[in-house]
Amino acid sequence: MKSHSRQLKVFPQSNGPQQRWSMSVYLQAPRLRDRPGIKMYVEANLRVLNKSYPKNYKKNTVSGWLSAKYYECCQPVFMPWEDLKKGFINKKELEFEVEILNLSKAEGNILFS
């Protein structure tokens, strides 16, 4: 399911302006960014590739609705940032492996409060 992983990106999430390092990550669907009112449900296993300890790869399941208004999954704090630092690439993207369990088609005409 590598084709689906191209539709999703993982970014660090800031937990406050005074914290130097973020403590969590979130999934983002770039194609939805400029399409207000469209959303997509995602359930995925995310595994950070820590090459120093291949037997101890950190893995967790995330799920939630992605949309132009709310990029992040319902459970954005799914993995401590300390476990992800070694996979950090270019200060924006993490080196990761995504296994999509469920990726719905984009749905339209959704109103958000």
What's residue 3's pLDDT? 41
**How many other β-carbons are positioned within 10 Å of the β-carbon of residue 92?**
10
Total domain count, the chain: 1
> Does residue 28 belong to any structural domain of this protein?
yes
* Beta strands per DSSP E along 1-113: 9-13, 24-28, 39-48, 58-67, 88-89, 93-94, 96-103
Tell me, what DSSP letter sits at residue 87?
G
- pLDDT-wise least confident of 13-27, 28-42, 84-98: 13-27
> Does residue 108 belong to any structural domain of this protein?
no
Q: State the greatest distance between any 2 C-alpha atoms of the chain, in Å, as a whole number.
A: 46
* Per-residue pLDDT tens over the stretch 5-30: 445 566 655 555 555 544 455 566 66
Work out the percent of the chain whose per-residue pLDDT is above 90.
0
Per-residue pLDDT averaged across 70-93, rounded? 50
- pLDDT-wise least confident of 7-16, 74-83, 84-93: 74-83
Whether the full predicted model's pTM is greater than 0.75, yes or no, is no
> Does residue 82 belong to any structural domain of this protein?
yes
- Domain of residue 25 covers 2-103
CA distance 85 to 101: 25
Q: Residue 53 is encoded by which pair of tokens?
A: 């300890």
